[in-house]
A and B are shown apart, each in its own frame.
Chain A
């Protein structure tokens, strides 16, 4: 089963007089349940790719299919709904809403979807337990460490059982100990929940530990390595 299919994806920006190819024709496929690292130098187009796959940004040309569906065939309304139900995001930092505690932050996508509060709450508790934060449920982001905040963000990204989990340098802001904790968490999630994960990382060890690496350079795929 193919979870993600990308065909000749372009993203161009007008910069002054000229144009900049942030993504210059990218194609690849990701199967269901795969964990893929996206690596590359700064400015190579990793975040741009993630934003387009997450429907936050739209392609200049080319096609993407997520679970066989093209999310951009729809208008903004249904694109947002698609994102809400099928995509989970984890960014580098400041992922959480400061006015809401860990449990409420985790519940938010479920509440936006309009699922019954009770079920969403139960599920959020299970996920927070999975990321090891049961005791921190009622703590606000300002009361959590950077690593703990990232773990809440991971729990939140899973609340609606997304098809695709997208993480943009989720451990980029953390010390090595907390970073490896997050890395373990991603592998654990992938194994227990069979989630499809695309994670941008500068961490060589983490990238090497994952079964597949897509390397970008100047908007092109430089290599697509798979551990055999």
Chain B
């Protein structure tokens, strides 16, 4: 028969909680209980806050990515090969899966932008303004008063006195700033490949007018994009009616890989393939995953250090309380009862650490999410930070920490078994 669990509970309660009431034992309790609890709670606090802020950051990046890009692109298997315009193909692809919400053709290629003495490399993207409304969610990033439809129009440029009408483009805000231009200004698209036509090796020059800009706020990736209509782009690149590919919008972007596989079965024989957004951004996604992994590792180390402090404190407790442990043995405690006493201390210290860490983390995340905090906010964005609390992650961190805390108590639990009762009694007698 093991010692009654009630007796163990009684001891635990006294050692961990009510010993605080006694002035003479308070400092021992502080070292034995408070410090390891704080150790664990700091780890849990840091873990939840950092992962949640990073989670918010990543989700934000992904949602911007998914708004500014197609979820899936269908392109020729042969890299860069043009696909002749083919309305039937669009319908055919859309009929493959009910997951596909919209489909639109696009063209894309490198371009040099020139304005006065300034120049820049950029990516020229041609879209079908009407159809692209369905596949891209660019609208909320566009400068006020314009829609993609403006790309169908020709407008006069403000910085040129000749009242010619120019094809319109939408550029990213970064690019506009780089070239020192404003909405309404004109600029020249210059091809990167020399024109091998009759005129010799001169590059194609193509004046256009900036009808608006795209700004993605804090997340300015793909900073150098010029968007124009499919027709204009084809004209610039001197293609007949053709596409580089099709852009697809799907119901659940996170399923893009799966749907792409399904599409590929049918597309492959046609010399086409589906490219999910995860593939197009694999480098970025890999970096984000790696960063998250690295952060988790560092945070785990903090929790581990906290758990080490549990080991240390409990091992010291064995030294400090060896006389009491021997008395308990003389009163009928088994070795395993002493072990239990220490495992429970590890568990309870870990548990308290997790609860306190989560509470502090919750408060911190609430503040980060709702208030502008100097230092954190300014270096990153002017608004409060986005926060994403992943409940599974929190549960995992909590149980993991408690598990580690118990693991930290295993060593003391084994050590206390080896307590030599006779030796302790002889030394003091």
A-to-B contact residues, CB < 8 Å: 47, 51, 54, 56-57, 76-78, 80-81, 83-85, 89, 91-100, 104, 108-109, 111-114, 117, 140, 142, 156, 168-169
Contacts and interface: CB of A to CB of B under 8 A. Distances in A.
B161 interface: no
B33 to A, nearest CB: 13
A94 B325 CA distance: 12
Given A47-B429, A92-B429, A109 B332 contact: yes
Contact of A142 (B24, B327, B428): B24
Nearest to B13: A99
Interface of B: 1-4, 6-7, 10, 14-15, 18-19, 22, 24-25, 323-324, 327-337, 421-422, 425-426, 428-429
**Prevailing SS type, chain B contact patch:** helix
A215 to B, nearest CB: 20
A92 B330 CA distance: 14
B4 A112 contact: yes
B3 A112 contact: yes
B324 A98 contact: yes
Interface centre among A89, A92, A114, A168 (most CB of B within 10 A): A114
Contacts of B429: 47, 91-93, 168-169
Contacts, number: 92
Contact of A89 (B22, B324, B330, B334): B330
B14 A111 contact: no
18 contacts: A47-B425, A47-B429, A56-B421, A76-B335, A77-B334, A78-B1, A80-B3, A83-B331, A84-B3, A85-B332, A89-B330, A98-B324, A100-B14, A108-B331, A111-B7, A112-B7, A112-B328, A169-B429
Contacts of A93: 428-429
A200 B97 CA distance: 92
Nearest to B429: A92
A111 B6 contact: yes
A97 B4 contact: no
A80 B332 contact: yes
Contacts of A84: 3, 331-333
A99 B327 contact: no
A61 to B, nearest CB: 18
* 9 A-B pairs with least C-beta separation: A84-B332, A114-B4, A111-B7, A80-B334, A99-B14, A112-B3, A112-B7, A89-B330, A81-B1
Contacts of A142: 24
A93 B327 CA distance: 11
Given A112-B7, A114-B4, A97 B327 contact: yes
